[in-house]
Chains A and B, each alone.
Chain A
Amino acid sequence: SHDPSENILICLFSLLVLSMVLETQALTPTHHLTTTDVARLQAVLSQPFTDLKSAYYSVVGLSKLGILVADETCQFIKSNLDPSSVESLFYAAEASQALSGCEIPVSNDTRDLLLATVSEDSTASQIHQSVSALSSLGLPLASQEVVSALKARISKEDNVLTIILALQTASRLSQQAELGDILEEIEDLAARLDDLSGVYLQFEEGLETTALFVSAAYALSDHVDMEPPLKEDQVIQLVNSIFSKKSWDSLSEAFSVASAAESLSNNRFHVPVIVSAQGPAAISHSQPFLRLQVTDVLCQPLSSASVLVESASTSSSKSAILSQAPFTLRDEVFELNFMASQPASGYYQFSVAIAGDSRFVANHVELKVKVSTRVAINNMDLSVVDKDQSTGPKTTRVEYPTKAKAPFMADSHQNFAMAFQLVDETTGVELTPHQTFVRLHNQKTGQEVVFVAEPDSKNLYKFELDTTERKTEFDSISGTYALYLMMGDATLENPILWNVADVVLKFLDEEAPSTIQAKTLYTPKPEIQHLFREPEKKPPTVVSNAFTALVLSPFLLLLILWVKLGANISNFTLSPSTFLFHIGHAAMLGLMYVYWTHLNMFQTMKYLAIIGSLTFLAGNRMLAQKAVKRYSNCFKLILLLLSFASTRMESILFRLSESFTFPYKVHYVPFTHHIEN
């Protein structure tokens, strides 16, 4: 059997490049242990142990990683063993099992103690420990009793850890025992896992519990030779959860991860496959092989696998380049000479299948592979074209990487033009890289202007410089400019910066050439002074005063007119209400003045309410009195008239009554008597 540590060392450093692997229908692991992670796990487990418990974790953990521990540990275990404690016996028994040639002496009392712990009243942990100790020490145990104790325990405590311990315990029992019920617990437990965004599957109790579940489930499944009811996607999600953490808080956590990794790489049913490209998945003529590492979760290469490219197609056009091409195994790395299929440069989508073992899980992988190439510049023609087309263009051909000997001239009469072709160095296919720039650099002033060279329909690149058109870009600064061709692309292995020629540009309306300062974008700008609104010009005081007098003058006229008309206050009745009214009214007017000078509306309303109501009451009284007086005069007049009318009416009636005979003669008293009273 191979030495796993050597394999780990051979397993070269690969990136967490599974992020590069696109997910299609089936999940592929996004997190896995790399060799450094495995080494770190090993280091954690190799720490010097202080007590029997840590010795157990270290020894058993390292044995799961396939690393043998020094035999001196046996002495340590024996000396630290406490035969009266089931836990101590468990640790010692399991650890000694992992060491070679380490025997723990067992007495009858020990055996009895262990057997007595197997009962419904012990905790699941105790049952697990005693059963494991009995099994490791080679002592007989009654499997059926254990099963019933476990079942009773599960029905009492339904938590996840209890069931996991039950599973672990059941895997140590005889195969003839009735393990069916306990086996069903795997499915129930799997249903209790939390699915986090379709990537992770873990218990809410944490990483350790999830890892212990995995190792327990596969241990029991292997023991009874029945496939665990976990779907492929679930297995991958468990892999993501368990191996996403690369540094472990405690020894027990590291131990659980190690045992989960061991069970996932060694069980009979599901072996998750980790596929990663060695280095970047880039192929070129110098590097024609696509190299893949195919390992299990412990980063051990799966040599029995056969790797096949199901299809390889360009990312853009989806036309297939390869179909069903096998990888060859060399030094535990699978490689494929992709360049042999002569792909054009660009990105390719690979669909890779790993076969060879029916246990493989996540054995269909999608990869994005880049094919890069070297570019060659052909037919670089520099020419000076007359604007009015009077003479034909003078063309000079320049070969990369030389520079044109003579500088070219471009001014108001002639333009400078450049044409070239970009081809793949090996295949001669025309290329259109992402970046094709023409840079003109004025060495004296340091100014540089960059243009883009565009390909036409025949993939021929053209660039033309018209000095009148491009005046603004150059700030009309004439001089000698060095012309560079800059080219780059992700799929080009040789980006190019080529000083093609010197171009002398002459601009009309040239301003005094000044060295270009860095654009004054970031210098402080001139301060803005806030201009307050200017107060409007007021007219001279004389004018204002004159008009004030003018506006007040009609009041005099009013007084004069009133006097002329004979308006007087002779009807002024001296009564309290009139006084109050006039005082209140004057107060209201005074309040108006005070409002103008001092108060605001709210205060004014307050005072107005008070004064106003007083004035109103007084005024009401006063006016009512006036009205009564007016009416009383009126009333007297009316009554007088009425009395006259009534006497007339009476006499008419009397005369009338005389003409007719009435049965009764009424003794008539004139009405006027009543009025006079």
Chain B
Amino acid sequence: MSNSVFSVISRFVEEYRSSTPNKLKVIDAYLLYILLTGVFQFLYCVLVGTFPFNSFLSGFIACVGSFILAVCLRIQINPQNKRDFLTVSPERAFADFLFAHTVLHLVVVNFVG
């Protein structure tokens, strides 16, 4: 059982390494970073306490929001999805990504207190 799981995983990793364009790998690295940041914030909250609760919320929401926006960017940039996003060029996707981030940052900074 574990053998098959291991082989699936290694296969997946190989596949990923070879067939994913570099651009997407950059974005994936960014996604990993965001994820880890969010996880560590949650860990703090669980272990130490929710004292300034609004700050915790705003930090966590920032991580979640950034993750989502980056995923959107990744989807829109991926050349394999070109058919689904005929009207959206990668530049347009990136511009949207930046604008959405501005709004997110505004909200987060307002809430962090």
Closest to B25 in A: A565
| Closest-CB distance, B17 to chain A (whole angstroms) | 11
Q: Is the CB of A561 within 8 A of B106?
A: no
A557/B41 contact (C-beta < 8 A), A566-B22, A624-B91 known: no
| Closest-CB distance, B70 to chain A (whole angstroms) | 12
Q: Contacts of B22 on A, CB cut-off 8 Å?
A: 565-567
Q: Contacts of B41 on A, CB cut-off 8 Å?
A: 551
Interface string of B89-105 (1 = CB under 8 A from A): 11110110011001001
A142 interfacial by beta-carbon distance below 8 Å: no
Q: Is the CB of A627 within 8 A of B89?
A: yes
| Closest-CB distance, B95 to chain A (whole angstroms) | 6
B78 interfacial by beta-carbon distance below 8 Å: no
State the CA gap A266–B41 with chains docked (Å). 108
8 Å CB contact of A601 from B90, B98, B110, B112: B110
A554/B94 contact (C-beta < 8 A), A565-B25, A592-B105 known: no
CB contact list, A548-571 vs B, under 8 A? 550-551, 553-555, 557-558, 561-562, 565-567
Q: Contacts of B99 on A, CB cut-off 8 Å?
A: 616
Q: Contacts of B89 on A, CB cut-off 8 Å?
A: 627
A608/B102 contact (C-beta < 8 A), A536-B51, A592-B109 known: yes
Q: Is the CB of A547 within 8 A of B29?
A: no
Interface centre among B37, B41, B112 (most CB of A within 10 A): B37
* Size bracket, chain B contacts: 20 to 34
Q: Is the CB of B95 within 8 A of A619?
A: yes
A663 interfacial by beta-carbon distance below 8 Å: no
B85 interfacial by beta-carbon distance below 8 Å: no
A623 interfacial by beta-carbon distance below 8 Å: yes
State the CA gap A445–B109 with chains docked (Å). 72
A592/B106 contact (C-beta < 8 A), A543-B48, A619-B98 known: yes
Q: Is the CB of B37 within 8 A of A551?
A: yes
Q: Is the CB of A555 within 8 A of B98?
A: no
Q: Contacts of A630 on B, CB cut-off 8 Å?
A: 90
State the CA gap A101–B103 with chains docked (Å). 115
State the CA gap A601–B110 with chains docked (Å). 7
Q: Is the CB of B32 within 8 A of A558?
A: yes
* Size bracket, chain A contacts: 35 or more
Q: Is the CB of B40 within 8 A of A626?
A: no
State the CA gap A588–B101 with chains docked (Å). 11
Q: Is the CB of B44 within 8 A of A547?
A: yes
A595/B36 contact (C-beta < 8 A), A551-B44, A562-B26, A567-B26 known: no
State the CA gap A595–B113 with chains docked (Å). 10
State the CA gap A620–B92 with chains docked (Å). 9
Q: Contacts of A589 on B, CB cut-off 8 Å?
A: 105
B16 interfacial by beta-carbon distance below 8 Å: no
Closest to A622 in B: B91
8 Å CB contact of B32 from A550, A561, A585, A620: A561
B12 interfacial by beta-carbon distance below 8 Å: no
Q: Contacts of A604 on B, CB cut-off 8 Å?
A: 106
A557/B32 contact (C-beta < 8 A), A567-B26, A592-B106 known: yes
| Closest-CB distance, B60 to chain A (whole angstroms) | 11
Q: Contacts of B40 on A, CB cut-off 8 Å?
A: 547, 550-551, 553-554
Secondary structure at chain B's binding surface: helix, strand, loop or mixed? helix
| Closest-CB distance, B52 to chain A (whole angstroms) | 8
Interface string of A599-611 (1 = CB under 8 A from B): 0010010001000
Q: Is the CB of B106 within 8 A of A554?
A: no
8 Å CB contact of B33 from A547, A555, A623: A555
Closest to B39 in A: A554
A83 interfacial by beta-carbon distance below 8 Å: no
A539/B26 contact (C-beta < 8 A), A547-B44, A554-B40, A558-B33 known: no
| Closest-CB distance, B110 to chain A (whole angstroms) | 6
Q: Contacts of A596 on B, CB cut-off 8 Å?
A: 109, 112
Closest to A625 in B: B91
Q: Is the CB of A554 within 8 A of B105?
A: no
Q: Contacts of B48 on A, CB cut-off 8 Å?
A: 539, 543-544, 547
A648 interfacial by beta-carbon distance below 8 Å: no
Q: Contacts of A547 on B, CB cut-off 8 Å?
A: 40, 43-44, 48
Q: Contacts of A555 on B, CB cut-off 8 Å?
A: 33, 37
Q: Contacts of A550 on B, CB cut-off 8 Å?
A: 40, 43-44
CB contact list, B55-113 vs A, under 8 A? 89-92, 94-95, 98-99, 102, 105-106, 109-110, 112
| Closest-CB distance, A286 to chain B (whole angstroms) | 86
Q: Contacts of B106 on A, CB cut-off 8 Å?
A: 592, 595, 604, 608
Q: Contacts of B95 on A, CB cut-off 8 Å?
A: 619-620, 623
A479 interfacial by beta-carbon distance below 8 Å: no
Q: Contacts of A458 on B, CB cut-off 8 Å?
A: none
Closest to A628 in B: B91
Q: Is the CB of A538 within 8 A of B29?
A: no
CB contact list, B4-30 vs A, under 8 A? 22, 25-26, 29-30
Q: Contacts of A554 on B, CB cut-off 8 Å?
A: 32-34, 36-37, 40
Q: Contacts of A543 on B, CB cut-off 8 Å?
A: 48
| Closest-CB distance, B72 to chain A (whole angstroms) | 17
State the CA gap A677–B29 with chains docked (Å). 47
A612 interfacial by beta-carbon distance below 8 Å: yes
A557/B33 contact (C-beta < 8 A), A592-B105, A624-B91, A627-B91 known: yes
Q: Is the CB of A626 within 8 A of B33?
A: no
| Closest-CB distance, A629 to chain B (whole angstroms) | 10
Known: A539-B49, A547-B48, A550-B43. 10 other contacts (CB 8 A): A551-B44, A558-B30, A561-B29, A561-B33, A562-B29, A588-B102, A595-B109, A608-B102, A608-B106, A630-B90
Task: Name 8 interchain pairs, CB-CB below 8 A, sorted by A.
Answer: A550-B43, A551-B44, A553-B40, A557-B36, A588-B105, A589-B105, A592-B106, A604-B106
Closest 4 CB pairs of A and B: A554-B36, A623-B91, A558-B33, A561-B29
